[in-house]
Chains A and B, each alone.
Chain A
Amino acid sequence: MQLLRAVLLRLATTAVTLLGVAVIVFVVIRVVPGNPIAMMLPPGATEADVARLTAQYGLDKSLPEQFLIWAGGVLRGDFGLSITARQPVLDLVLGRLPATLELSVMALVIACLLGGFAALTGTRARGTGGEAAIDVANGMALSIPDFLWGLILVLLFGVLWPLFHISGRVTPSLELPFTTDFYLFESVLRLRFDLWANIVSHMFLPALALAIPLAAIIGQLLKQSLKETMHLDYVTLARTKGYGENHVILREALRNAILPTLTLVGVQFTFLIGGTVIIERLFSYEGLGNLAIDAVINRDLPLIQGIVILFAVIFTAVNLCVDLLYAVLNPRLRHG
């Protein structure tokens, strides 16, 4: 009951957040220089052509008026027409969303595995050279940003030692039997593991580039809280019961140590989704991020607005999920 109330309250504040995001984006992209109409018309277009198109897209109205028209459409599920693609923004965005979601989730899984492994082995080897080595690796992973990791990975595993595909989402010549845009997911459901392997081979490097900095953050924070937990009385008590180091770390310490890391992963995961914008460009991956860059270059105002709102929805949804997970994992919170 209490949980339900908390969720409803969060949804209400989320609505306010989204409204704020909408207003800011709407104003900012109209204030920065660059005119979408000028980019659509061929050289030599007359003043009359410009005026006609401006009116057609409603850009001749005042800013508040434009906002109300757009916001009214959004509430009815109509995000307007993309200026460049001349298709409904919603269709474009939803068509690309699955690719980005799959990439982000894959990156998150890789980050959790790598970071968790680093934290556990680092805790196991605390106070020795092994821990120092892990600290150094963590520091390096953290101090190089994701797009540079992308370039490094392209050079290493795309050029020098071509193990993976470095461009696109799937080899274009392949015939795809999919009905949804969740290629990775659907290939598993349809038991088409040949396609699955091809898709993973395309996704692995961009996902890894996104995952490495996050893995370092997870590794560092989780190791720190694990080490602190290892000194606590209940861990010592478990040792007197005859349990070894591995058991003590995994069963006694991990679940308590993981809570602060979880909150951070939620925040960092939203940064990771933001990182897809550049990484998708780098790997020519047909996702939302790539679409966003095109939209900005082309001053495709409705499309930019749609993408930003969608990103905002994703961010708040991730944060909500993290809070719920936190409540589930921490019995002290669950019982209020």
Chain B
Amino acid sequence: MSFLRVNGLSARLKGAGHPILRGVSLSVAAGEVRGLVGESGAGKSMIGKAVLGILPKAVEVSGGEILLGGVDLLRLPPKERRARIGATCALIPQDPLTALNPSRRIAPQITDRLVDILGWDRGRALARAEELLAEVHIPDPARVLRAYPHELSGGMRQRILIASAFAAEPKLIVADEPTTALDVTVQKQVLKLIAEMQARHGTALLFVTHDLGVVSKVCDSLTVLYGGLVVEDTDVRSFFAGPAHAYSRALLAATPKYTDPQASLTPVPDAVIRDVQAEVAAADRRARHG
């Protein structure tokens, strides 16, 4: 039984009604890492945001369901929805430099959820925070807990955010391009750390990325999106053995090879783009008539 199931989720811009997600379905089970890949604008981040209830104000969900442990979030009143998300999910954000509050110390930013939402006492929460920082290989956790974000490096802050995401033993973590904003040398370590923490805690992980190289390293399964439409949903091994969909194949071919950095880049061919756009249009027609 998957902890997260998204069924036929559609979302659009308010007012103009321009579709952003077109009937997306996917699921993530405990211990599974699902990659969510696509070009920018494919809607991969929007899925994560919809699950966590942090869609931008201009975007509204227009159909489908988001089942979290069997309960449809979209049917819950806002307060219960927030509480449920806060108690069972967490986000590893993209940019560690902006995701920590600059005027609060590190400790309360890790412990706040434990104390306020889960009702732990402060001492226990603080001990847990220290333990977590040690778990993400931060030296001298006690000192870091007292520090302000500006006193720490970007890599350090991303480690703190990862620790914070695992603090309440969530069932599901959404990682929204967690390595994109980092230096290449730090990227690898952070990726390894996320995989290590996920394996240890057995969390379901939804990994939003545009980097198929990253997917091959950390994911078990993946969902390929184009224009808010799922074009392929498969496990990692069969995907890298040979994607079923023409667009996925083109995307894989377009990924730069680390083994041969001098090789010229292959763009996704126009014909493939035309075909997948036709599929998107067909999905829209079906949605209108169904």
Contacts and interface: CB of A to CB of B under 8 A. Distances in A.
Given A233-B93, A255-B104, A329-B103, 6 more contacts: A233-B98, A234-B98, A243-B86, A244-B79, A247-B116, A331-B150
A252 B86 contact: no
A232 B53 contact: no
Contacts of B91: 236-237, 240
Interface size class of B (residues with CB under 8 A): 20 to 34
B102 A331 contact: yes
Contacts of A256: 101-103
Contacts of A243: 82, 86, 112, 116-117
A335 B105 CA distance: 13
Nearest to B150: A332
A327 to B, nearest CB: 13
B101 A240 contact: no
A239 interface: yes
B87 interface: yes
B148 A332 contact: yes
Nearest to B117: A242
Contacts of A17: none
B102 A332 contact: yes
Contacts of B82: 239, 242-244
Interface of B: 52-54, 57, 79, 82-83, 85-87, 89-91, 93-95, 98-104, 112-113, 116-117, 148, 150-151, 161
Interface of A: 127, 232-234, 236-244, 247, 252, 255-256, 329-332, 335
A238 B86 CA distance: 9
B87 A242 contact: yes
Q: Is the contact region of chain A dominated by helix, strand, or loop, or is it mixed? A: helix
Nearest to A230: B57
Contacts of A237: 91, 93, 99, 161
A17 to B, nearest CB: 31
Nearest to A335: B151
Contacts of B104: 255
B147 to A, nearest CB: 10
B71 to A, nearest CB: 15
A256 B102 CA distance: 8
8 contacts: A233-B95, A236-B54, A239-B52, A239-B54, A240-B85, A240-B89, A242-B117, A329-B103
